Structure 1
């Protein structure tokens, strides 16, 4: 699954944008729906399948019996049954019924093998109203000319989300059986299971029936064995309104018109799927259009709203999908196993995208690209997300994790591979280096807290759906990508690829655990005499995935000494999570000395000595070249001074990625009280000569913390003056190369850095910048049909103009947002509207987040997060969510706790800490996001108390110099 939200880090708006959250299902099981007569239609393989709506059963219990210690009170399926295939028919209604609800009806037959003798069938079912079949909620038959045991009782175990079928006799091991169910559910707008998405086109409301099954929502669409190891083949039939299109994982093989209970319908039957997990099942009924191309034997189609397709917004996605698929086939040395790849842009979608096999779903902003309104960052977002999802076709879909405790392997791998696939599609961008800024540096912030967690948990620690959902975080995605990149680097890419090839070939259409992958990498190492490792792949990598956090490596260039220590941003925090490795890592050190090439060394203990690291007084040592290792680096004071001097005298001697690294390491070492903050600030002094994107992006990200901490103190003015002085040459540089802002730079990263220049110049009060932004925006207000602002700069310019303006600017921005027909343009405006400094406008905007007719539910969380990035909006947002918390949780679900991270990122006083602790006591005991916020607030309080005065004095002294 693709990452949920994206915004330019070059904006340095401060917070990790968290996915919009799913809304609680509101199926009213007490409502007795109008019944329809059953009517048979031809199903997969010529089987006869009943199409019926569901009546409420009165012959069998449908509520949870008294809790017990029986199997059905456990969250995991027993190991007694194994599914073979499903025959599934679904009929979504795209019009409301007499109760004002959108519903779907369906029936499912699952054929399974009994592995161990049992008198119990457990199958997942959640929020489905099951019909009465012969006095029970299901029918059981045997397929091998024997008689199945009679059913004793059936009921829904609500807490564990099971349909329980209790038998009078036992199923026999080795025999196959079929379980039939008929059901009805609601197409809610909750963004999970089988749900609906809505949009307007030419003044007409359109409804889409679509799915999001990962991780545990397939059970909301049909009764199923809803665990990743329970792979099966799916025969799917969709009944839908004439004129609409039905899509599923397989290619449609037959579409016929029929009349069912007096209703004219279209029945589409699909080719059977490959053997796969339930979380990858997908089906869509819509009024979309598509464009297509063929990549050898694979049909590629891009689906979206008709207007978007007509305007060519799917062309870029179509152009890059084929090359990326071809790249992966070569990289994995495994042919893409399907005959088609449908990719669908949905108006309402919770995550960034979802890797359903053969039917990938996306947010519109992550699949559609319009060169007239989309920026280069939007374009990069499209190609990287497509690359991420296509990587899953092999790693995740073909070979699947056995259980969710290894989610990091799926998502971390795809998050690493997305850079390789995107680099193949866009080779001039240098996109592979972006992983350092986008993933390594970003996840360091989370993994440096005691509230972090290991990449891989014990299987028995992850049971409940909410525990599974909590794993979809930056640790699984970004840390997973970072450590796999490190592994590829020290193995070498050819050995890494060789291990992947044998792994995928051995476990195709099956399930694995992470240790299986280590075994295949070890085989590749053993077969490559030129590769020598100090320990086995398992011994090395288990230290990175089975314990949380990462080390800081300290190098003493006077003695050649090295040491490692668990890096914590708050050194006073207590690590309560034990580690069998005692928070020691096997660390691949890469380093270089003044004027010399790269060297390597393995740090295998807490301390060691490597004499080549000893320097003379004119030499410096730089470690973790190109940040291929997942660790921070500290040096003795003299070496730090020599590195800072090198930056000031000739910064290009140091590789560009490491210039970004020096800034990021220094500021975070200062936050952890390992070095003085003044030393970290010293790494920025050379910036008036720097024009490269990566170092500036690192600076912007790190000083963003300073702006959040100090923007309510007397430090803010001198700090603003200092950075204004640094950014003015960069602003002038881009003004010159863009011919006074009449064009954008040709280089991909130069366009990003132009945004940094404009953002920081405006933030620090450079009048030329503010005049430029306000002038462009005013020009647009005077002629709304002709926007003079280049797409690359729109997010920044919109924000600055609305922040500097009042109600007139905000109302214009709101009107443009409401009328925007292109999702990426609407997203820029939605963000910019949060920049207002007018309290009543901000409060009104907060209220809009609870009204889905104004702000889509998928965007509610990120909108509040945007608002809280504004110093005026932060306090208003905190009061807003506290006042309405019970209502918000009822409407949006517990995932909304993640918004607390953004709303409290400025917290740095004891009073604010008490408020947060009280909030946790009242509402959020056990919520990881709340615990993370408390840990960060405690660290902020301590850091501010110790560093406020020296930081103020440093800025004052620097500003006094010419």
Structure 2
């Protein structure tokens, strides 16, 4: 970088800070974009290196309204704020320009300005683009950036010969996040141009775009500059064509202190020292990226360290805080990454396309992880694992999240969706194959069998609401950043993964993989839509002579273009099979029309007393299948739950299945034992079967020792507990649950001994041990509560040396804090603040929400408003955890209502977290009074808005109405069943 260019960066930064000291920059809105006065004289020549710029040398931005189309008014005139029609009023970019390459140079300041107290970054960018259709305007995304005048305008435009292209006016459109250049003459078709900008932005702690993360190590506070561009925040770091189909190459240069490291998507190609105002800085330049979307760009400045491996010529590094690396917390990730990369290269039959794979654990990160090409970013809990202090579940999370993000390096990064309406294709695919990649890394864990518990059952509940949405939306329906963010939900991830698992099952995995391979090769370094995948899957079907009743597209469109799923009912007396759109509210009516009238092409796997077979119910309400007729033998549908549907039977077949569970449960596959329970409880909620029949599915559990059925039971009964734990029914429910779980609780005591520091050897068995202890304690089994409190007390007395087994920490912490008082809570808080292990901090943070003391919970809620107490990334989850506590639910709801504007401003842009906040706080709502409160909350906050939680609010209203009806219909009858089922 030349001395002049470097000094211009200094000038830009000091200019903004100087103006801010005098006016609006002191406010938090300082970095929101302001338009340059177009008639302002350009800046004086920039000083050379090693000189200090004077105020007279500084180019400043003057806040003015956007021009009305005429040349910009002189300083003495008042610019009109009138909006006029133009392409900048459209939320989508015009199709007249396409980017070719970007050269981006950024300089994050990791110390606050001593006067404004703001952290900032400065930068310059050159984007080369091609004109596809002659146009008088250049429209490019920009958000919260302040620009330095260049030739009196926000940007400088040149043609391919280096000649200036005359700009008549320039302005910002904050509503649609655009920088607009109006030209005196149109750009020419097929010609290339470059646009140069200089800008300053705030390096805020908002977890979006180019942002700031902080941590303390060795008593010293450290600052990290990092990125999260997906889906629409690259524009917050530099001006860009910020849509996924507008791929380009990127050349990134970062200026930083010599003691800091800079990382980006590609390897470093040049590093040099530069001097600015007698201070030595480091300038790091990275190799040119492959052609890719803006949302996959990443750059980080930090004082982290890494461990490294070379696998098949690929450099693999795991980055983290130095202490975390020295403590061995990165070792597990480095040991599995190479295996998973190799698995996916073989699975896709396409080599990993980059020379390196960096993965970095960040102290502050809004999502779980982000698949930036060659530089994957993670929450610490999703990448770091301590073999002593982290649990079995923590280890699985690292394996599955790493596999998810590495799957994206091909499916999402090499081939990218054309627009966000097909987000599910990216995320659903990664949600399916993460289980394959993690299973390859940990073959003894049988992870593929856990897909049903973690993904399928989880998403069924959301997709049974009329406020759900199809996997694929019409492109024109998804436009704004808020609409895009709403798609990052369990429908896109878990339903997407579930329907692809179903597709792979009826095609067979080899055929499915063949289709993936040709799809990736055909669209590499480009973009694709969901129909492109169906074309390649159909080619694989044809090549392998797979016998399907319809084309892949015809089958899959019924699963992707309409929301929801069917309940398949078999009448074994005559073999009649029917399908019906399953809604948890039996009186609800679908809110949107379906192109298929809510009928699906359903692959129905079934088993009687022979091998597994398949029949198809093809877009009709019912059909007769004679092979499914049975008078005396049970018939089981949806073997291993590979189909995305629920199953109902005639009462006679239900009773035959339940009798089989009571006599020889092993005759029913373990996943189907979980399915029977999960389906029955949800069918009862929707009034397809009697609630007492659903409860009868739990009678056999005294003999069940497998994880999946117990997990399905806990999930199913969690709804009962939410609805009933404030009612008189709960006492009898509590007695029955303990009656059923104590044999399992005792089984693990006998299996490994009564010492909770011992665990069974199997992966799923370890989960089930936790379930047994947690369920027994949460339903007030006195021996369980006493033991948990004693273990916690021993830890309080010897915090440095007493070890609680990591698998059971969450249970022990929660039970002891719930049974204890201020001393137990304050000790947990102290350990939370002192731990440097993120997984341990999460366990303690969750457990602190278990207190039964209202004043403690109210104090804890207040902590969520202070990032020094609870990190922003954890605030909404902490509120949800408090709301899950029967004592804390009403406190959390009052807190949300009292602080909505602040909470929305701070967290409303988040996708998953904000939706889960609304869902979590309203989950217990089941009275008319609570429904009125929720409706009033919606009315009171229309002006503030609900952001990415808008759909979640509608779902909360729908769920509350369903809950009210459910309690009215079932509460008394459930109580009668519990009384009858409790053994003396």
TM-score (ref. length: structure 1) = 0.94
**Structure 1 residue 28: deviation in Å?**
5.9
- From 126, 140, 160, the counterpart of 2:143: 126
What is the aligned partner in structure 2 of residue 109 from structure 1? Answer: 126
CA–CA distance in structure 2, aligned partners of residues 536 and 545 of structure 1: 14
Is 2:868 the counterpart of 1:853? yes
Match of 1:85 in 2: 101
What SS does the aligned partner of 1:581 have?
A: coil
**Does 2:931 correspond to 1:913?**
yes
The Cα of 1:249 is off from its aligned counterpart by 0.5
Alignment of 1:730-749 (within 5 A): 730-741=744-755, 742-749=757-764
Q: Please provide the CA RMSD for this pair.
A: 1.8
Q: Is the 8 A contact 1:63 1:157 kept in 2?
A: no
1:528 aligns with 2:551: no
Is 1:678 the equivalent of 2:692? yes
CA deviation after TM superposition for structure 1 residue 372, in Å: 1.0
- If asked which structure has higher relative contact order (CA below 8 Å, sep 6+), I would say 1
Deviations along 1:531-585, one digit per CA (max 9) or x if unpaired, are: 1111111111011000000000000000100000000000111212001100000
1:226 correspondence with 2:226: no
Of residues 367, 384, 397 in structure 2, which corresponds to 1:351? 367
CA deviation digits over 1:657-699, x for unaligned, max 9? 0000000000000010110111010000010111100000000
Aligned to 2:60: 56
Distance 2:857 2:187 in 1: 62
The CA deviation string for residues 779-838 of structure 1, in whole angstroms up to 9 with x for no partner, is 001101123310000001100110111111111111110111100000000000000011
Q: Which residue of 2 aligns with 1:14?
A: none
Work out whether residues 490 and 588 of structure 1, in 8 Å CA contact, stay in contact via their aligned partners in 2: yes
Kindly indicate whether the alpha-carbon contact (under 8 Å) linking 1:249 and 1:359 is maintained by their aligned counterparts in 2. Answer: yes
Partner of 2:488, secondary structure, is coil
Aligned to 2:679: 665
1:703 to 717, 722, 729: 717
The structural deviation recorded for 1:30 is 7.6
Q: CA deviation at 1:893?
A: 2.6
Does residue 195 (structure 1) correspond to residue 211 (structure 2)? The answer is: yes
Asked whether the 8 Å contact 2:88–2:139 carries over to 1, the reply is: yes
Q: How far is 1:260 from its partner?
A: 2.2
CA shift in 2, pair 1:592/1:869, >3 Å: same
Asked if the contact 1:60–1:153 (Cα under 8 Å) also holds between the matched residues in 2, the reply is no
Q: Does structure 2 retain, via aligned residues, the 8 Å contact 1:86–1:110?
A: yes
Alignment of 1:596-611 (within 5 A): 596-604=610-618, 605-611=620-626
What is the correspondence of 1:621-660 to structure 2 with a 5 Å cutoff?
A: 621-660=635-674
Structure 2 residue 883 is matched with structure 1 residue 868: yes
The residue correspondences of 1:707-786 to structure 2 (distance < 5 A) are: 707-741=721-755, 742-786=757-801
2:421 to 402, 405, 423: 405
CA 383–718 in structure 1, closer or farther in 2 if over 3 Å, else same? same
Does residue 1:463 correspond to 2:467, yes or no? no
Cα shift readout 1:83-106 (whole Å, capped 9, x = no counterpart): 100111000000111311111000
1:581 counterpart residue number: 596
Give the 3-state SS of the residue equivalent to 2:443 in structure 1. coil
Selected match of 1:151 from 167, 188, 191: 167
- Secondary structure of the residue aligned to 2:502 is helix
Question: Which residue of the other structure, out of 153, 156, 168, is the alignment partner of 2:184?
Answer: 168
Contact 1:56 1:129 in 2 (8 A): no
Tell me the SS of whatever aligns to 2:227.
strand
Aligned to 1:904: 922
Q: Which moved more, 1:887-896 or 1:450-459?
A: 887-896
Q: Is the 1:148–1:177 Cα contact (8 Å) retained in structure 2?
A: no
**CA apart distance, 1:897:** 5.4
Gap regions ≥5 residues in structure 2: 1-26, 37-42, 50-55, 69-80
Which residue in 2 is equivalent to 1:422?
438
Unaligned runs of 5+ in 1: 1-22, 42-51
Contact 1:779 1:788 in 2 (8 A): no
Question: Could you tell me whether the CA contact under 8 Å between 2:471 and 2:561 is conserved in 1?
Answer: yes
Residue 590 (1) aligns with residue 590 (2): no
- Residues in 2 aligned to 1:171 and 1:858: alpha-carbon distance in whole angstroms: 44
Contact 2:33 2:143 in 1 (8 A): no
Asked whether the equivalents of residues 349 and 858 of structure 1 are also in contact (C-alpha less than 8 Å), the reply is yes
Q: In the alignment, is residue 27 of structure 1 matched against residue 44 of structure 2? A: no
> Contact (CA 8 Å) 1:54, 1:184: kept in 2 or not?
no
Kindly state the Cα deviation for residue 26 of structure 1 after the two structures are TM-superposed.
Answer: 6.2
Deviations 1:732-786 (CA, angstroms, capped at 9, x unpaired) = 0111112212411111011100010001111222111111101100100110112
Q: Is the 8 A contact 2:810 2:847 kept in 1?
A: yes
Judge conservation of contact 1:59–1:135 (CA < 8 Å) in 2. no
Partner of 1:137: 154
Residue 411 (structure 2) aligns with? 395
| 2:503 alignment counterpart | 487
Q: Distance in 2 between matches of 1:408 and 1:29?
A: 33
Give the deviation of 1:31 after TM superposition.
Answer: 13
- Measured after TM superposition, the shift of residue 62 of structure 1 is 6.2
* Partner Cα separation in structure 2 for residue 36 and residue 266 of structure 1: 26
CA distance in 2 between counterparts of 1:26 and 1:929 reads 32
User: Cα distance, 1:263 vs. partner?
Assistant: 2.6
Mapped pair 1:934 → 2:951: no
1:443 maps to 459
Pair 1:514–1:543, CA change in 2 (3 A): same
**Does the 8 Å CA contact 1:24/1:891 hold for their aligned counterparts?**
no
In 2, Cα distance between the equivalents of 1:597 and 1:215? 46
Structure 2: distance between partners of 1:792 and 1:24: 43
Alignment partner of 1:954 out of 950, 963, 977: 977
For 2:45 and 2:228, how far apart are their aligned partners in 1? 30
- Contact kept in structure 2, 1:110 and 1:179, CA below 8 Å: yes
Q: In the TM superposition, what is the alpha-carbon distance from 1:24 to its structure 2 partner? A: 9.4
Query: Is the CA contact (8 Å cut-off) linking 1:342 and 1:358 kept in structure 2?
Result: yes
Paired with 1:428 and 1:149, the residues of 2 have a C-alpha distance of 64
Question: Is residue 36–residue 261 contact of structure 1 (8 Å, CA) maintained in 2?
Answer: no
After TM superposition, the score normalised by the length of structure 2 is: 0.92
Matched-pair contact (CA < 8 Å) for 1:87–1:108: yes
The answer to whether the Cα contact below 8 Å between 1:60 and 1:137 also exists between their aligned partners in 2 is no
How far 1:899 moved relative to its partner? Answer: 1.1
Cα contact 1:144–1:175 (8 A) shared by 2: no
Which whole-Å CA distance do the structure 1 matches of 2:222 and 2:724 have between them?
A: 48
Q: How far apart are residue 36 of structure 1 and its match?
A: 11
The alpha-carbon deviation at position 54 of structure 1 amounts to: 7.8
Paired residue total: 923
Shift of residue 56 of structure 1?
A: 2.6
User: Is the alpha carbon distance of 1:212 and 1:55 closer, same or farther for their aligned partners in structure 2, counting shifts above 3 Å?
Assistant: farther
Per-residue CA deviation, residues 917-953 of structure 1 (Å, 9 max, x unaligned), is 1111111577211110010000000011010111000
Q: Retained in 2: the 8 A contact 1:58–1:132?
A: no
**Hey, what's the Cα distance between the residues in 2 that align with 1:897 and 1:325?**
32
